[in-house]
């Protein structure tokens, strides 16, 4: 049987929620990944070190016995985050970064930043205390076309942020456009990006052609094929600025299969297998290990993992749902066949 053994990967961007959903989704991530960057967009958002430590404990309790998994916590940047808050976060071993959501950009982003210029003092503090800033890079004004929002964010905000804070380490999260790939590629080594499996595997036709498929709806939204091709080229290039971040974002199915459905694709059930599929299609399986297991750790200045995982070339059918009747999650590629399986 064909197999692929790589250093155990990490997921540099994930939503694991809390309560019942956390218990359903966390084992999927802990089985595959040694570490994951945990997004702070809970209700209420995780804005303090004390909240992050409580959330971290809840996550650790959901790790199945015998699995070794480390959650890396982030704090939610708001219009009132102070230098003192950032200093405390920098002093905490549990917190590794701050997340910037423009207000209204996505799920639970109401507490996000309405005026980006107004948080420049906080960005200065992040630069001073050497804490990375993770950015959901989309403008949020209602007149901007949803397919243009990432490109407009670069032009309206990101260029200025990068110019004003040259030592600030920034992860442009879940990039979806050729413009974002170009921006990150042309920037200094302080700027990196994560790429999701859905943006490598699908374009917007998966969401909209021949019927509307809510389980392919995430933000930033799937784009045209030319953008998907730019993302595949970046992910498989061996450029260490691009690394794995699933943005796995579980919502119960009833909140997605409705007149106004939530944004988020659930991919944690098969994350590394989905990436393997994308890399194999690009004839670049040899580039998967760097993308999945090395470059993110290097960017965050954490040690690379030393154990391995093995994938087998073996077909399996993705279940139609995970969780119980009250918390049913429809995974990406539900009911479809995948060709790689984690051993
Ligand atoms: O599709 C998304 N879902 N994009 C995000 O940025 C947030 C996420 C979520 O939390 O559901
Ligand atoms: Zn996310």
pLDDT score for 12:
99
Q: Which residues pair with 338 in a beta bridge?
A: 316
pLDDT over 90 for what percent of the chain?
97
- In the predicted model, is pLDDT for residue 138 greater than 80? yes
Residue with CA nearest ligand 1 atom 4 = 219
Distance 201 CA to ligand 2 centre (A): 17
Per-residue pLDDT tens over the stretch 201-214: 999 999 999 999 99
pLDDT score for 111:
86
Per-residue pLDDT tens over the stretch 216-264: 999 999 999 999 999 999 999 999 999 999 999 999 999 999 999 999 9
Residue spans per domain, the chain? 3-342
Distance 212 CA to ligand 1 centre (A): 18
Rounded CA separation 166/244 (Å)? 24
pLDDT score for 231:
99
Specify the pTM.
Answer: 0.98
Per-residue pLDDT tens over the stretch 71-110: 999 999 999 999 999 999 999 999 999 999 999 887 778 8
Identify which of 11, 13, 15 to mutate to test ligand 1's pocket (most ligand atoms within 8 A of the CB): 15
Residue with CA nearest ligand 1 atom 10 = 107
Residue with CA nearest ligand 1 atom 3 = 264
- In the predicted model, is pLDDT for residue 187 greater than 80? yes
Q: Which CATH number fits domain 3-342: 3.40.50.2300, 3.20.20.140, 1.10.1740.10, 3.40.50.300?
A: 3.20.20.140
Nearest bound ligand to the CA of residue 263: 1
For the annotated catalytic residues, the residue numbers are 247
Nearest to 127 by CA among 161, 153, 154: 161
pLDDT score for 317:
98
Atom of ligand 1 minimally distant from the CA of 41: 10
pLDDT score for 51:
98
Rounded CA separation 172/154 (Å)? 10
Query: What average pLDDT does range 36-44 have in this prediction?
Result: 97
Distance 218 CA to ligand 1 centre (A): 6
Q: In what order do the strands lie in the sheet with 3-7?
A: 3-7, 308-317, 337-342
**Range from 108-112, 271-275, 314-318 carrying the lowest mean pLDDT:** 108-112
pLDDT score for 1:
78
Query: What average pLDDT does range 191-198 have in this prediction?
Result: 99
Q: Is 107 in the pocket of ligand 1 (CB under 6 A)?
A: yes
Q: Is 341 exposed, middle or buried (0-12, 13-18, 19+ CB in 10 A)?
A: middle
Query: What average pLDDT does range 194-203 have in this prediction?
Result: 99
Q: Is 106 in the pocket of ligand 1 (CB under 6 A)?
A: yes
Atom of ligand 1 minimally distant from the CA of 250: 11
Distance 306 CA to ligand 1 centre (A): 31
Rounded CA separation 275/292 (Å)? 9
pLDDT score for 334:
98
pLDDT score for 110:
82
pLDDT over 70 for what percent of the chain?
100
Residues with C-beta atoms within 5 A of ion ligand 2: 247
- In the predicted model, is pLDDT for residue 343 greater than 80? yes
Q: For strand 191-195 and strand 242-244, is the pairing parallel, antiparallel, or unpaired?
A: parallel
């Amino acid at each position: 049987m064909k197999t692929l053994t790589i250093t155990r990967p990490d997921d540099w961007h994930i939503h694991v929620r809390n309560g019942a959903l956390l218990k359903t989704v966390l084992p999927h991530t802990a089985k595959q990944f040694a570490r994951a960057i945990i997004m702070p967009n809970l209700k209420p958002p995780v804005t303090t070190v004390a909240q992050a430590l409580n959330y971290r404990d809840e996550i650790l309790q959901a790790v199945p016995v015998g699995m070794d998994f480390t959650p890396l916590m982030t704090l939610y940047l708001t219009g009132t985050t102070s230098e003192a808050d950032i200093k405390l976060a920098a002093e905490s071993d549990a917190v590794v970064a701050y997340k910037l959501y423009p207000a209204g950009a996505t799920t639970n982003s109401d507490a996000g930043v309405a005026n980006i210029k107004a948080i420049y003092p906080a960005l200065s503090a992040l630069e001073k205390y050497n804490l990375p800033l993770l950015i959901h890079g989309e403008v949020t004004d209602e007149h901007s076309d949803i397919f243009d929002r990432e490109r407009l964010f670069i032009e309206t905000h990101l260029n200025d942020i990068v110019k004003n804070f040259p030592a600030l380490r920034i992860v442009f999260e879940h990039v979806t456009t050729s413009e974002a790939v170009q921006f990150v590629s042309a920037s200094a080594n302080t700027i990196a990006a994560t790429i999701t499996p859905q943006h490598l595997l699908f374009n917007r036709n998966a969401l909209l052609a021949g019927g509307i498929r809510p389980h392919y709806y995430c933000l930033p939204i799937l784009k045209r094929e030319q953008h998907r091709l730019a993302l595949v080229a970046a992910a498989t290039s061996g450029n260490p600025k691009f690394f794995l971040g699933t943005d796995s974002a579980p919502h119960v199915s009833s909140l997605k299969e409705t007149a106004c459905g939530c944004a988020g694709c659930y991919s944690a059930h098969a994350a590394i297998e989905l990436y393997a599929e994308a890399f194999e299609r690009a004839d670049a399986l040899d580039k998967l290990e760097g993308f999945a297991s090395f470059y993110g750790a290097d960017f965050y200045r954490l040690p690379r993992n030393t154990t391995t995982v093995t994938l087998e070339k073996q077909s399996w059918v993705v279940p139609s749902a995970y969780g119980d009747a009250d918390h049913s999650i429809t995974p990406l590629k539900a009911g479809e066949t995948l060709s790689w399986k984690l051993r």
